[in-house]
């Protein structure tokens, strides 16, 4: 196949949240050609993907890379790390709870070197997002979720919040803001908002679906393109005249770097991978926010209406010196029992769950390769609950105590029959369910170009100079928005997703 058949001005690796925005923005210029490399199929006309409330049916299926966790020193070794294999990435796969970062988060990132990403300059970008971000619609507000909000407010004393994105908050309880269309329960994902309107209208945009990227094509210190494998097994190189933009997510971006010879030299040499650039930070500082699961059986069935079965939540700030909330809770209108059932608990016919999690955990892990074969999944070692002062474990224990206090408080208490887990015959940690929140390798503040590399920029979900908090899709999308002076984000040194 002639080489110029796969030559573009920009090559975007990953058609997820960041990649969708960047491809849409770049192709606004009709003279710029862009190829998007997406490992999964299209989400167009896929009701199983586009219907928000069907998100749980995607977990562990053929649209999920489903990365496992290595054995953990303090348990919690059976946690599913779902990463979407479909256009739109995890915004086509998760619950689309969407929060603006708190001003303290933005300022913390800028203080650590992400110039231009402080709270004041970034506030303007939220209004320019194309996604339809709205509070859970009144018709979707289930009666038991409403009673959870009332009980949580009474038990904790936090304020009720109507619209978590309206103003900064330190604590509060209410219904989440979601990126969805309430009239038909359809997602307003990155692909729906940024690619669907233009993908058939712009001849300068090429989306290569079910095309898996497995190694960067390097010319000395410059990235020229990427080696890919199509669905039919054909392998070829997609090359860029200008830049390769790595948007493959918190797991697959470092995986791709490592298989390309960019990473810790000792680890790469041990696997027989030729070292192109010794960069020890690749794969380090992997970050996750563990989420404990507490399940109650209800006295009977609960109403059916919902946006996505986890429509309300609670934020608590235990430490008044802490910047922002230090505990977050989801309230699920279903019994979330995947891991508890593995431990011997029985799933109740009717039930609900609360899931306290740690917004800014202190434990740090790493991602590494176990084989030179790119088809072998990387190892994820989050080292849960290994921080020196045991902050993470103490935070979750506090969360369980608060959850139980809410469950004893009316009007929620009247719905609940008994605690299913972790009460009962088991008393062990191991029922955690987690959403990936990684910072897998070091990206220099203000730049995006890993040390010593040219021609490639890294934009992906959840790498951060400072700690992340959950539910951050809006700031991922901001990477693709221009400055008021019309400059592209990579002209201003945007640091982000």
Whether the per-residue pLDDT at 92 is higher than 50: the answer is yes
Q: Which residues contact 95 (CB under 8 A, 6 or more apart)?
A: 52, 55, 178, 308, 310
The whole-number pLDDT of residue 321 equals 86
SS3 106: helix
Whether residue 259 contacts residue 215, with contact meaning beta carbons closer than 8 Å, is answered with: yes
What DSSP string runs through 15-28?
Answer: -SHHHHHHHHHHTT
**Model confidence at 340, in pLDDT bands (50, 70, 90)?**
confident
* 456: enclosing H helix or E strand: strand 456-458
The upper half-sphere exposure of residue 227, i.e. CA atoms within 13 Å in the direction of its Cβ, equals: 13
Task: Report, as an integer, the average pLDDT of 171-191.
Answer: 98
Kindly state the tokens that stand for 256: 């791709």
Whether the per-residue pLDDT at 497 is higher than 80: the answer is no
Q: Which residue has the higher pLDDT, 80 or 131?
A: 131
Q: How are strands ordered across the β-sheet holding 186-187?
A: 133-135, 177-181, 186-187
CA distance 46 to 59: 15
Q: What percent of the chain has pLDDT over 70?
A: 84
Task: Report, as an integer, the average pLDDT of 109-117.
Answer: 92
Q: Are strands 177-181 and 133-135 parallel, antiparallel or unpaired?
A: antiparallel
The whole-number pLDDT of residue 461 equals 41
**Model confidence at 470, in pLDDT bands (50, 70, 90)?**
low
Whether the per-residue pLDDT at 261 is higher than 90: the answer is yes
Task: Report, as an integer, the average pLDDT of 370-381.
Answer: 97
**Model confidence at 391, in pLDDT bands (50, 70, 90)?**
very high
The whole-number pLDDT of residue 3 equals 53
Strand partners, 381: 366
Whether the per-residue pLDDT at 389 is higher than 50: the answer is yes
In angstroms, the first-to-last Cα distance of the chain is: 34
Q: Which residue has the higher pLDDT, 323 or 374?
A: 374
Query: Taken in order 485, 489, 495, 497, is the CA torsion positive or negative?
Result: positive
CA distance 328 to 314: 6
The whole-number pLDDT of residue 345 equals 84
**Model confidence at 474, in pLDDT bands (50, 70, 90)?**
low
Whole-structure pTM value: 0.86
Length reported for the chain: 497
**Model confidence at 93, in pLDDT bands (50, 70, 90)?**
very high
What DSSP string runs through 174-220?
Answer: EEPEEEEETTTTEE--HIIIIITTTTTT-TTEEEETT-EEEEEEEET
Q: Over the stretch 115-155, which tens digit does the pLDDT of each residue have?
A: 999 999 999 889 899 999 999 999 999 999 999 999 999 99
The whole-number pLDDT of residue 4 equals 61
Q: Are strands 177-181 and 186-187 parallel, antiparallel or unpaired?
A: antiparallel
Q: Which of 282-296, 303-317, 445-459 has the lowest mean pLDDT?
A: 445-459
Q: Which of 3-7, 179-183, 186-190, 387-391 has the lowest mean pLDDT?
A: 3-7
The whole-number pLDDT of residue 489 equals 31
Per the prediction, the chain carries an average pLDDT of 86
Task: Report, as an integer, the average pLDDT of 168-191.
Answer: 97
Q: Over the stretch 278-291, which tens digit does the pLDDT of each residue have?
A: 999 999 999 988 88
CA distance 263 to 284: 10
CA distance 59 to 80: 9
Whether the per-residue pLDDT at 309 is higher than 80: the answer is yes
Nearest to 129 by CA among 472, 435, 457, 460: 472
Whether residue 328 contacts residue 99, with contact meaning beta carbons closer than 8 Å, is answered with: no
CA distance readout (Å), 14 to 20, 248, 452, 487: 8, 5, 23, 23
Q: What is the CA radius of gyration of the chain?
A: 22
Kindly state the tokens that stand for 399: 């969360």
Q: Over the stretch 194-239, which tens digit does the pLDDT of each residue have?
A: 999 999 999 999 999 999 999 999 998 789 999 999 999 999 999 9
The whole-number pLDDT of residue 209 equals 98
The whole-number pLDDT of residue 322 equals 85
């Amino acid at each position: 196949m002639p080489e110029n058949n796969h030559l573009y001005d920009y090559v975007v690796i990953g058609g997820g949240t960041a990649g969708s925005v960047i491809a849409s923005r770049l192709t606004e210029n009709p003279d710029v050609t862009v190829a998007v490399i997406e490992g999964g199929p299209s989400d167009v006309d896929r009701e199983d993907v586009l219907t928000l409330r069907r998100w749980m049916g995607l977990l562990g299926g053929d649209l999920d890379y489903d990365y496992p966790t290595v054995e953990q020193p303090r348990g919690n070794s059976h946690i599913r790390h779902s990463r979407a294999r479909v256009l739109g990435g995890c915004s086509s796969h998760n619950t689309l709870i969407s929060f603006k970062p708190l001003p303290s988060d933005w300022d913390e990132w800028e203080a650590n070197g992400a110039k231009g990403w402080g709270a004041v300059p970034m506030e303007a970008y939220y209004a320019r997002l194309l996604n339809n971000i709205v509070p859970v619609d009144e018709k979707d507000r289930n009666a038991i979720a409403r009673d959870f909000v009332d009980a949580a407010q009474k038990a904790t004393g936090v304020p009720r919040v109507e619209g978590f994105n309206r103003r900064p908050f330190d604590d509060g309880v209410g219904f989440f803001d979601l990126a969805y269309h309430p009239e038909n329960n359809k997602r307003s994902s990155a692909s729906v908002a940024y690619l669907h309107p233009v993908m058939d209208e712009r001849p300068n945009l090429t989306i290569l679906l079910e095309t898996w990227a497995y190694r960067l094509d390097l010319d000395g210190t410059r990235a020229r393109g990427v080696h890919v494998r199509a669905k039919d097994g054909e392998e070829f190189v997609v090359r860029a005249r200008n830049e390769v933009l790595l948007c493959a997510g918190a797991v697959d971006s470092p995986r791709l770097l490592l298989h390309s010879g960019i990473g810790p030299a000792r680890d790469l040499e041990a696997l027989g991978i030729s070292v192109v650039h010794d960069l020890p930070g690749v794969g380090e500082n992997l970050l996750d926010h563990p989420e404990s699961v507490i399940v109650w059986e209800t006295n009977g069935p609960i109403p059916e209406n919902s946006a996505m079965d986890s429509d309300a939540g609670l934020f608590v700030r235990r430490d008044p010196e802490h910047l922002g909330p230090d505990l977050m809770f989801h309230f699920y209108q279903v019994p979330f029992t995947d891991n508890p059932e593995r431990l011997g608990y029985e799933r109740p016919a009717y039930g609900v769950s609360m899931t306290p999690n740690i917004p800014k955990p202190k434990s740090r892990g790493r991602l590494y390769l176990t084989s030179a074969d790119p088809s072998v999944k990387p190892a994820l070692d989050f080292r849960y609950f290994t921080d020196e002062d045991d902050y993470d474990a103490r935070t979750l224990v506090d969360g369980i105590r608060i959850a139980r206090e809410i469950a004893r408080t009316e009007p929620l208490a009247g719905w609940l029959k008994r605690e299913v887990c972790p009460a009962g015959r088991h008393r062990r940690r191991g029922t955690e369910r987690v959403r990936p929140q990684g910072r897998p390798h070091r990206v220099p503040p203000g730049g995006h170009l890993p040390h010593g590399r040219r021609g490639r920029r890294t934009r992906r979900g959840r790498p951060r100079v400072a700690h992340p908090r959950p539910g951050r899709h809006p700031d991922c999308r901001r990477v693709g928005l221009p400055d008021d002076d019309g400059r592209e984000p990579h002209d201003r040194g945007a640091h982000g997703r």
